[in-house]
Homo-oligomer: A and B are copies of this chain.
Amino acid sequence: MLRTYTLRSSGLRRAFSTSARRADRAIVYSKNGEPPSVLRAVSYPPLDAPRSGTINVKYILSPINPADINVIEGLYPAKPSPDANLQSLTNESLFVGGNEGLAQVTSVGSGVDGLSEGDWVVPIAPQSGTWVTSRNLSPADVVSVPRADGLSEAAAAMLTVNPPTAYNMLHDFVNLKPGDWVVQNGANSAVGQLVAQIACKEGWRTINFVRNREDFGALEEEMKSLGADAVFTYDDLADKGLREKVKETTGGKPISLALNCVSGPVTSNMARYLGAKPPTKPHLVSYGAMSKQPLSLPTSLFIFKDLVSCGFWQSRWYKTHSKEEKEELIRKVATMGLKVPKHEIVEVGGEGASDEAVSKQLTEVVRRVVEGKTGGKKVLLKVA
């Protein structure tokens, strides 16, 4: 049986044929822009056997993260490289979407140690392109994921960005002792929920700030079920009366770590709750700015309270740490028993589907993500 694969590109169409093999597919873009407009599906022939020192993997699930959208828009500081395989096939520079995902090793080239067919791996090279059926990779660019511990595919697919971000922010800046307090805003974000969970598991306590909402009681209960000790709103934060409540909550213990994904006045107010006994310096660690406002702080906090304001970016962490450190980190967060975030799995493609049809499927789901219409669920793509 013969099938024909058509590779679409702006300037070029090439056809090729193969026997008894179905096509794999990648979700790509050739230029930055609004994701629903610039993304499309491209078929490509199944991978050759891996060269020496490389592996072939099949992606099981790949999240659509907010940062992925920004990368496609060209608004993110990390830029992917064009996909070499697709470039050689299409003569066009195509970027594959996605930075995170769970893949399974399908074939191991000669000279590769420590990885076997069937192993679960996650990519740790930044912007490697995970919205794809299959890939030939360097073992240096993946970390294997322990399959024990009842870790689900979905949980493993969301393992490389958010859990390490939460884990590292809690561990890398202030030497927290059992019973120490941490404050955070955006506490019901994906990272925020992980912060509450990990802190609780490590014996640290959290004060969690969230936006005002009608169902605050339900959210408070949910956050507490994750391990949060106290939940307040940004309105509470603007009220001076909160100082007493926080003091009651902490028993007057200093709060030496604050995590910020909001910035703006909410964070200026939160920073005032920080303090520490020298030589510990209170740290405000930022990993997002959902308010789209700058981070504005009184200079006196820096001078007289020794505040350190800094940032965290998991991509930089991966760039500046060894393979062993990365494996250790993934092993840790994979085995902590973290609650799997709400998610939905969306399969695009499948045998017989045309690239046009898959592009349309994809456009619809990406539009839902961009417009925030996923009901708070993370979309996990399965590209077939």
Residues of A within 8 A of B (CB): 77, 260, 263, 268, 278-279, 281, 286-289, 294-313, 316, 319-320
CA distance A17 to B368 in the complex (A): 91
Of B77, B289, B301, B302, the contact of A299 (CB 8 Å cutoff)? B289
**19 CB < 8 A contacts A-B:** A77-B300, A77-B304, A263-B299, A281-B310, A286-B303, A288-B303, A289-B300, A289-B303, A294-B297, A294-B299, A295-B296, A295-B298, A299-B311, A303-B313, A305-B311, A306-B313, A306-B316, A308-B310, A309-B309
CA distance A234 to B90 in the complex (A): 52
Most chain B beta-carbon contacts within 10 A, residue among A279, A288, A304: A304
Contacts of A304 in B (CB 8 A): 77, 311, 313
Contact between A310 and B307, CB atoms less than 8 A apart? yes
Give chain A's interface secondary structure class.
Answer: mixed
Contacts of A279 in B (CB 8 A): 320
Q: In angstroms, how far is the closest chain B Cβ from the Cβ of A66?
A: 13
Most chain B beta-carbon contacts within 10 A, residue among A278, A298, A311: A311
CA distance A302 to B304 in the complex (A): 21
Q: For A285, give the chain B residue with the smallest CB separation.
A: B302
Contact between A311 and B316, CB atoms less than 8 A apart? no
A299-B263, A302-B310 as given contacts; A319 in contact with B278, CB under 8 Å: yes
CA distance A300 to B312 in the complex (A): 10
Q: For A303, give the chain B residue with the smallest CB separation.
A: B311
Contacts of A260 in B (CB 8 A): 299
20 additional contacts (CB under 8 A) given A77-B304, A288-B299, A306-B310: A260-B299, A278-B316, A278-B319, A286-B302, A286-B303, A289-B298, A294-B297, A295-B296, A295-B302, A296-B297, A297-B309, A302-B309, A303-B312, A303-B313, A304-B311, A306-B313, A306-B316, A307-B310, A308-B309, A309-B309
Most chain B beta-carbon contacts within 10 A, residue among A278, A281, A313, A319: A313
Q: For A302, give the chain B residue with the smallest CB separation.
A: B311
Most chain B beta-carbon contacts within 10 A, residue among A260, A286, A320: A286
CA distance A304 to B70 in the complex (A): 14
Contact between A311 and B319, CB atoms less than 8 A apart? no
Most chain B beta-carbon contacts within 10 A, residue among A260, A299, A303, A310: A299
Contact between B309 and A310, CB atoms less than 8 A apart? yes
Contact between A287 and B303, CB atoms less than 8 A apart? yes
A-B pairs, 8 with minimum CB distance: A302-B311, A289-B299, A296-B296, A303-B311, A309-B309, A77-B304, A286-B302, A263-B299
Contacts of A286 in B (CB 8 A): 299, 302-303
Contacts of A297 in B (CB 8 A): 294-296, 309
Contacts of A263 in B (CB 8 A): 299
